[in-house]
């Protein structure tokens, strides 16, 4: 018997919670089996193990009004894309890699199906669409705590600054969202405890698993950068340290005087050092791009 939407919404999370937890070694074996031999059983096991991650991320977007089964389906598609593109030899855990693909897939679905916003999917638009109301509510609370009341223009300017997007984009998105959104500080009807709608928003902070994964990836990134620096000559290392890593970066002129070189020659050495590092880091391919973005 086919499951209806509500049954599917309840059944999939229960099934996902019962899936096995993969250790790093098993995860790598499964990923290699799929990449090298197209082992569908290995792919199924890998995807099933991380479906709970996909469902957890899908749930964060439920407040945008999309049916939860559809969000889960899109999250699953993102998980499948991650499995297809994942390279187990890059030194990154699959869960960390999959997060980007799952989030991108669900965000694109929400943007495509939102009744008011049918624009492109630029980074500015996405940032506003998924964060504007939350940031507005936070800024208003902070102002009230200081005894201030922000007018609309002040609030939109603060939102633009907080999110790092143009003010005109904030004004445009505010107009598009204002038709159907309630104030996040409004009390829920029938709630005896007087809770506000903002209290129902999912916590977008990192989970323990995400923090552990990020710490692992940052450590790996440091190793890669150290390897890249080792490819440089002592003079190239000195120039990069003084130009990019010092608390007060040196000028090309001052380095040229110290090294008895012309300003142009120091610039050439700096450019050559960066090219060497790029060449070394390019061996890590897409995994490195994911960590640096």
**Measured between alpha carbons, how far is 169 from 102 in angstroms, rounded to an integer?**
26
* Per-residue pLDDT tens digits for 207-259: 545 555 555 556 666 677 777 788 888 898 888 888 877 778 889 898 989 98
In the beta sheet, which residues pair with residue 196?
A: 187
**Measured between alpha carbons, how far is 15 from 19 in angstroms, rounded to an integer?**
7
Q: For residue 130, what pLDDT is reported?
A: 73
Give the angle subtended at the CA of 121 by the CAs of 115 and 123, to the nearest 5°.
125
Give Cα separations from 48 to 53, 83, 128, 265 (angstroms): 10, 11, 32, 56
The stretch 5-13 carries a mean pLDDT of 52
Q: Could you say which DSSP state residue 206 is in?
A: P
Q: Which fold has domain 1-113?
A: 1.20.120
pLDDT exceeds 50 at position 126: yes
CATH 1.10.10.10 residue ranges for the chain: 208-292
* Per-residue pLDDT tens digits for 131-164: 787 888 888 888 888 888 888 888 888 888 888 8
**Measured between alpha carbons, how far is 64 from 199 in angstroms, rounded to an integer?**
15
- pTM recorded for the entire structure: 0.45
Residue pair 180/124 in contact by the 8 Å Cβ criterion: no
- Grade residue 293 by pLDDT with cuts at 50, 70 and 90: very low
The stretch 84-110 carries a mean pLDDT of 86
The stretch 167-185 carries a mean pLDDT of 65
- Grade residue 2 by pLDDT with cuts at 50, 70 and 90: very low
**Measured between alpha carbons, how far is 183 from 15 in angstroms, rounded to an integer?**
36
Class of domain 208-292: mainly alpha
Q: Could you say which DSSP state residue 184 is in?
A: T
Between residues 63 and 251, the one the model is more confident about: 251
In the chain, pLDDT over 90 holds for what percent of residues?
A: 6
Helix-strand-coil split of the chain, %, nearest 5:
75, 0, 25
pLDDT exceeds 60 at position 206: no
CATH 1.20.120.1810 residue ranges for the chain: 1-113
pLDDT exceeds 50 at position 289: no
In the chain the beta strands, taken as DSSP E runs, fall at none
The stretch 51-78 carries a mean pLDDT of 85
Report which of 20, 57, 26, 35 is spatially closest to residue 210, judged by C-alpha positions: 57
pLDDT exceeds 80 at position 128: no
What are residue 187's phi and psi, to 5 degrees? Answer: -75, 145
């Amino acid at each position: 018997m086919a499951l209806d939407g509500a049954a599917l919404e309840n059944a999939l999370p229960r099934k996902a919670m019962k899936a096995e937890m993969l250790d790093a070694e098993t995860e790598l074996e499964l990923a290699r089996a799929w990449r090298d031999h197209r082992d569908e059983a290995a792919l199924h096991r890998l995807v099933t193990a991380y479906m709970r991650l996909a469902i957890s991320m899908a749930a964060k977007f439920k407040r945008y009004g999309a049916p939860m089964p559809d969000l889960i389906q899109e999250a699953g598609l993102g998980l499948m894309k991650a499995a297809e593109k994942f390279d187990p030899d890059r030194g990154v855990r699959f869960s960390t890699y999959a997060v980007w693909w799952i989030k991108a897939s669900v965000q694109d679905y929400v943007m495509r199906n939102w009744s008011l916003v049918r624009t492109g999917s630029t980074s500015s638009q996405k940032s506003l669409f998924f964060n504007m109301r939350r940031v507005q509510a936070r800024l208003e609370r902070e102002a009230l705590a200081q005894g201030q009341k922000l007018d609309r223009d002040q609030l939109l300017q603060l939102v633009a600054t907080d999110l790092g997007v143009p003010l005109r984009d904030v004004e445009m998105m505010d107009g598009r969202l204002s038709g159907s959104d309630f104030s996040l500080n409004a009390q829920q009807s029938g709630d005896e405890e007087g809770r506000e709608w903002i209290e129902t928003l999912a916590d977008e902070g990192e989970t323990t698993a995400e923090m552990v994964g990020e710490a692992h990836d940052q450590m790996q990134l440091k190793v890669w950068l150290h390897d890249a620096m080792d490819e440089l000559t002592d003079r190239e290392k000195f120039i990069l340290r003084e130009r990019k890593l010092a608390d007060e970066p040196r000028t090309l002129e001052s380095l040229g005087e110290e090294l008895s070189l012309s300003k142009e020659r120091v610039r050439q050495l700096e450019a050559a050092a960066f090219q060497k590092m790029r060449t070394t880091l390019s061996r890590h391919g897409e995994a490195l791009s994911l960590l640096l973005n």
